[in-house]
Amino acid sequence: MADFTYEITKELGVISENAKGWQTRLNMVSWNGNEPKYDIRPWSPDGERMGKGISLSEEEMKRLTELFDERDEQDSFE
Protein backbone atom coordinates (compact mmCIF):
# COMPACT_ATOMS: atom_id res chain seq x y z
CA MET A 1 0.00 0.00 0.00
CA ALA A 2 1.31 3.42 -0.92
CA ASP A 3 2.08 5.95 1.79
CA PHE A 4 -0.26 8.88 2.12
CA THR A 5 -0.61 11.91 4.31
CA TYR A 6 -3.69 13.54 5.72
CA GLU A 7 -4.58 16.55 7.79
CA ILE A 8 -7.93 17.07 9.46
CA THR A 9 -8.46 20.76 8.75
CA LYS A 10 -11.86 21.01 10.45
CA GLU A 11 -13.88 18.70 12.67
CA LEU A 12 -17.55 19.10 11.76
CA GLY A 13 -19.12 16.54 14.07
CA VAL A 14 -19.67 12.99 15.29
CA ILE A 15 -22.32 10.97 13.45
CA SER A 16 -22.22 7.89 15.69
CA GLU A 17 -20.09 5.92 18.15
CA ASN A 18 -19.86 2.15 18.59
CA ALA A 19 -19.37 0.12 21.77
CA LYS A 20 -15.57 0.09 21.31
CA GLY A 21 -15.40 3.90 21.16
CA TRP A 22 -14.84 4.25 17.42
CA GLN A 23 -16.63 7.34 16.12
CA THR A 24 -17.95 7.88 12.64
CA ARG A 25 -17.12 11.52 12.02
CA LEU A 26 -17.70 14.20 9.42
CA ASN A 27 -14.49 16.18 8.95
CA MET A 28 -12.77 18.30 6.37
CA VAL A 29 -9.62 16.39 5.40
CA SER A 30 -6.72 17.28 3.14
CA TRP A 31 -5.32 14.11 1.57
CA ASN A 32 -1.71 14.26 0.33
CA GLY A 33 -1.66 18.06 0.54
CA ASN A 34 -4.68 18.50 -1.73
CA GLU A 35 -7.69 20.75 -1.20
CA PRO A 36 -9.71 19.56 1.83
CA LYS A 37 -12.81 17.47 1.15
CA TYR A 38 -15.75 16.44 3.26
CA ASP A 39 -14.83 13.09 4.76
CA ILE A 40 -17.03 10.51 6.48
CA ARG A 41 -15.29 7.56 8.16
CA PRO A 42 -14.80 5.83 11.53
CA TRP A 43 -11.88 6.89 13.73
CA SER A 44 -10.36 5.04 16.68
CA PRO A 45 -10.80 6.53 20.17
CA ASP A 46 -7.22 7.87 20.12
CA GLY A 47 -7.67 9.35 16.62
CA GLU A 48 -4.62 7.47 15.30
CA ARG A 49 -6.40 4.87 13.16
CA MET A 50 -9.18 5.16 10.64
CA GLY A 51 -11.58 2.84 8.87
CA LYS A 52 -12.83 2.88 5.32
CA GLY A 53 -14.79 5.94 4.36
CA ILE A 54 -15.75 8.35 1.65
CA SER A 55 -14.47 11.79 0.71
CA LEU A 56 -16.71 14.23 -1.15
CA SER A 57 -15.99 17.47 -2.97
CA GLU A 58 -18.07 20.57 -2.23
CA GLU A 59 -20.21 19.85 -5.32
CA GLU A 60 -20.73 16.20 -4.33
CA MET A 61 -21.72 17.19 -0.79
CA LYS A 62 -24.21 19.73 -2.13
CA ARG A 63 -25.76 17.07 -4.36
CA LEU A 64 -25.88 14.58 -1.49
CA THR A 65 -27.73 17.07 0.71
CA GLU A 66 -30.12 17.85 -2.17
CA LEU A 67 -30.89 14.15 -2.56
CA PHE A 68 -31.37 13.82 1.19
CA ASP A 69 -33.71 16.81 1.30
CA GLU A 70 -35.72 15.44 -1.65
CA ARG A 71 -36.21 11.97 -0.12
CA ASP A 72 -39.60 12.82 1.40
CA GLU A 73 -40.84 14.16 -1.93
CA GLN A 74 -40.28 10.82 -3.63
CA ASP A 75 -41.98 7.50 -3.05
CA SER A 76 -38.95 5.24 -2.68
CA PHE A 77 -40.98 2.06 -3.16
CA GLU A 78 -42.35 2.81 -6.62
On whether the CB atoms of residues 24 and 14 are closer than 8 A, the answer is yes
Q: What is the pLDDT of residue 8?
A: 96
* Long-range contacts formed by 19-28: CB under 8 A, 24+ apart: 20/45, 21/45, 22/51
Domain range for 56 is: 6-73
In total, how many domains does the chain have?
A: 1
Is residue 27 included in any domain, yes or no? yes
Rounded CA separation 37/9 (Å): 9
Is residue 78 included in any domain, yes or no? no
Is residue 22 included in any domain, yes or no? yes
pTM score of the predicted model: 0.85
CATH assignment at residue 46: 2.30.31.70
Rounded CA separation 22/50 (Å): 9
Q: What is the pLDDT of residue 75?
A: 61
- Residue 77, pLDDT > 60, answer no
The pLDDT of 42-53, averaged and rounded, is 96
The pLDDT of 11-23, averaged and rounded, is 97
Is residue 38 included in any domain, yes or no? yes
Is residue 1 included in any domain, yes or no? no
The pLDDT of 43-65, averaged and rounded, is 96
On whether the CB atoms of residues 5 and 16 are closer than 8 A, the answer is no
